[in-house]
């Protein structure tokens, strides 16, 4: 038995990985067993290699008996998103392969980390009055990074791709399979072009081809997505209404740790929706949200506004801007946009004045599998599909009902990727049914979102359910039918409402940012019946327990009909 264990451990280690090449740094995030982390030391600029930086990575060693010799190497998008936190997820997705997660230089788990809280705060400040000066914030960020010795010219796609090539050689793998999502699809295409002998296959989820004018296309892509969702007219109506009469919305500033009053115009909401639509669950509820906003339900703006603050912690904005200003912005005309996110990026790049990167026009003869979501407003199938099919051995699959980064949402997409890696030469692609995330009919209300942020605000429902349960039990034991039926009706109401909300959570928890299942409206008649029976029972039993039950029932109805519904 011991000999078998020793042999299994020996076989699970890459045969050419030397002790000098093995990772040795503590892992900064929780990782599965048999995972180790390290840093790859590389020049900050390969054309001026005097200064070096460290690129973080993690290696998970497969324990499968049929372990394949070529691992999967994954990088997140952004630019500026971290990768290592997905090591466990990917090891389950590819149990028969080693998994390498590599960070982008300048990202959270690399050294140095190019955070830029100045521009992040200025981005949130676009919702304030007066609006924050993004250019001034950008200059302050660049001056601070320069004092740390950072040369922003070293943080671009070409250098990031060279890091991935260097990492394969450092770890000693003869070849591996590239896996990129969103921005890192461009990185992985550059890797495939630069290191053809080291690439067995390429998976590109939400492909961003080089040469696509992403900024210039942004408004069109958002409008196209709204049309696909069937709410183009309602969307335009919502934007026009809020441009005429902006809404004032409380927003949590995660950097300052306090709320402020945001003034949201229709164009601001459009910019936020363009980012929020990356999530398939959001895309499923956007029709109901947009229609409600078009008719004046401004209370639904709070979750959208809070999403801006939450997004400020998802990227390292110094790295994001460095890449965009060298690789993306120069390829666009960048006229004044309705979307404040695009105008902010232009302001940063105008202030930083970084050189334009040379075009790569990367291609590869390796098999390439490209996946795209039907409702993706950032890397839409309109551009990713033709780019995939133009590759020598490329194939494209659009997944219905999904948006950006489909592998995170769809088990079917993950199975398709695994099947492709098992046999990259296979051209046939399995079909994936749309995910079961449609919310069904919704009654628009901001109450569920407020309860999610402050659970104590649901106390009236809990108190009503408890009072009805006690009334049911005590009245039944004492043979008081009227009171017992009143308690039973209240318990039944609480039960069916809870069941309908739980069912909605199981399909799409984001829907609660828009409202409750529309069945809660007719269910409310059960609560009314409970209150009537409880009040009627009071005429026969005027003691304090029945008085309390009647008061609680009445108070609950006021709360339910005035605050919840």
Pairing of strands 99-102, 52-60: antiparallel
Classified as helix, coil or strand, 220 is helix
Structure tokens at 490: 């209240």
Mean pLDDT in consecutive groups of 10 residues from the start of the chain, 565 residues = 32 35 78 96 96 97 95 96 97 97 97 94 87 94 97 98 98 97 98 98 97 93 97 97 94 78 93 94 96 96 86 86 96 89 95 95 96 97 96 96 96 96 86 92 95 93 95 91 94 96 94 95 96 91 88 96 95
Tell me the C-alpha distance between 84 and 90, whole Å. 10
Tell me if 403 sits within 8 A of 280, measured CB to CB. Answer: yes
Classified as helix, coil or strand, 7 is helix
Which DSSP helix (H) or strand (E) runs through 398? strand 394-399
Classified as helix, coil or strand, 46 is coil
pTM, rounded to two decimals: 0.91
Bond prior to 161 in cis (omega within 30° of 0): no
Tell me the C-alpha distance between 290 and 282, whole Å. 11
Tell me if 235 sits within 8 A of 287, measured CB to CB. Answer: no
Q: What is the pLDDT of residue 530?
A: 95
Tell me if 153 sits within 8 A of 355, measured CB to CB. Answer: yes
Tell me if 406 sits within 8 A of 204, measured CB to CB. Answer: no
Q: What is the pLDDT of residue 543?
A: 85
Non-local (6+) Cβ contacts of 37 within 8 A are 23, 25, 26, 27, 28, 31, 56, 57, 58, 59, 84
Tell me if 105 sits within 8 A of 42, measured CB to CB. Answer: yes
3-state SS of 68-102 is CCCCEEEECCCCCCCCHHHHHHHHHHCCCCCEEEE
Classified as helix, coil or strand, 263 is strand
Which DSSP helix (H) or strand (E) runs through 41? strand 35-43
Q: What is the pLDDT of residue 19?
A: 33
Q: What is the pLDDT of residue 430?
A: 80
Structure tokens at 509: 């928890």
Non-local (6+) Cβ contacts of 285 within 8 A are 439, 442, 508, 510, 511, 513, 514
> In this structure, how many other beta carbons lie within 10 angstroms of the beta carbon of residue 196?
12
Tell me if 124 sits within 8 A of 312, measured CB to CB. Answer: yes
Tell me if 38 sits within 8 A of 195, measured CB to CB. Answer: no
Q: What are phi and psi of 104, to 5 degrees?
A: -80, 145
CA distances from 79 to 184, 282, 288, 319 (A): 7, 22, 31, 7
Is the CATH code 3.90.950.20 the one for domain 2-111+149-212+359-422?
no
Q: Domain ranges for the chain, please list them.
A: 2-111+149-212+359-422, 217-352, 442-564
């Amino acid at each position: 038995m011991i000999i078998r264990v020793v042999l299994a451990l020996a076989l699970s280690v890459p045969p050419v990985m030397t002790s000098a090449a093995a990772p040795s740094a503590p892992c900064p995030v929780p990782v599965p067993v048999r995972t180790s982390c390290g840093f790859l030391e590389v020049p900050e600029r390969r054309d001026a290699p005097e200064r070096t930086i460290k690129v973080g990575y993690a290696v998970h060693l497969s324990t499968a008996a049929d372990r394949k010799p070529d691992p999967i190497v994954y990088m997140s998008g952004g630019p500026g998103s971290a990768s290592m936190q997905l090591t466990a997820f990917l090891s389950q997705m590819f149990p028969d392969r080693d998994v390498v997660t590599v960070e982008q230089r300048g990202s959270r788990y690399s050294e140095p980390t190019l955070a830029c809280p100045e521009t992040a705060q200025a981005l949130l400040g676009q919702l304030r009055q007066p609006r924050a000066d993004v250019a001034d914030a950008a200059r302050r960020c660049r001056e601070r990074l320069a004092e740390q010795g950072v040369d922003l010219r070293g943080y671009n796609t070409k250098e990031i791709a060279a890091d991935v090539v260097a990492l394969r050689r450092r770890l000693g793998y003869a070849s591996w399979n590239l896996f990129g999502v969103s921005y890192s699809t461009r990185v992985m295409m550059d890797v495939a072009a630069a290191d053809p002998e080291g690439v067995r296959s390429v998976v590109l989820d939400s492909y961003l081809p080089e040469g696509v004018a992403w900024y210039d296309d942004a408004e069109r892509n958002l409008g196209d997505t709204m049309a696909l969702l069937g709410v183009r007219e309602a969307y335009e109506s919502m934007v026009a209404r809020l441009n005429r009469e902006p809404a004032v919305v409380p927003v949590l500033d995660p950097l300052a740790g306090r709320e402020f009053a945001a003034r949201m115009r229709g164009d601001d909401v459009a910019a936020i929706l363009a980012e929020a639509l990356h999530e398939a669950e959001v895309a499923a509820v956007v029709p109901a949200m947009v229609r409600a906003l078009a008719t004046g339900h401004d209370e639904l703006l709070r979750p959208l506004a809070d999403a801006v603050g939450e997004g400020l912690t998802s990227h390292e904005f110094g790295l994001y801007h460095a890449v965009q200003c060298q690789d993306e912005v120069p390829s666009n005309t960048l006229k004044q946009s309705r979307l404040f996110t695009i105008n902010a990026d232009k302001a940063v790049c105008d202030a930083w004045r970084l050189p334009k990167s040379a075009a790569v026009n990367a291609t590869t003869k390796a098999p390439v599998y490209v996946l795209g979501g039907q409702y993706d407003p950032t890397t839409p199938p309109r551009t990713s599909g033709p780019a995939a099919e133009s590759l020598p051995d490329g194939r494209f699959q659009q997944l219905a009902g999904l948006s950006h980064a489909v592998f995170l949402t769809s088990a079917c997409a993950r199975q398709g990727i695994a099947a492709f890696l098992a046999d990259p030469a296979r051209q046939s692609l399995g079909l994936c049914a749309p995910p079961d995330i449609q919310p069904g009919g919704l009654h628009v209300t901001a109450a569920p979102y407020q309860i999610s942020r402050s659970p104590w605000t649901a106390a009236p429902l809990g108190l009503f359910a408890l009072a009805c349960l006690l009334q049911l039990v005590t009245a039944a034991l004492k043979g008081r039918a009227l009171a017992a039926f009143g308690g039973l009706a209240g318990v039944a109401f609480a039960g069916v409402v809870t069941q309908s909300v739980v069912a909605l959570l199981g399909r799409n928890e984001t829907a609660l940012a828009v409202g409750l299942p529309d069945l809660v409206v007719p269910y409310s008649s059960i609560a009314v019946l409970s209150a009537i029976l409880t009040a009627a029972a009071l005429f026969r039993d005027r003691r304090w327990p029945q008085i309390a039950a009647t008061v609680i029932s009445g108070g609950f109805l006021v709360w339910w009909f005035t605050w919840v519904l």
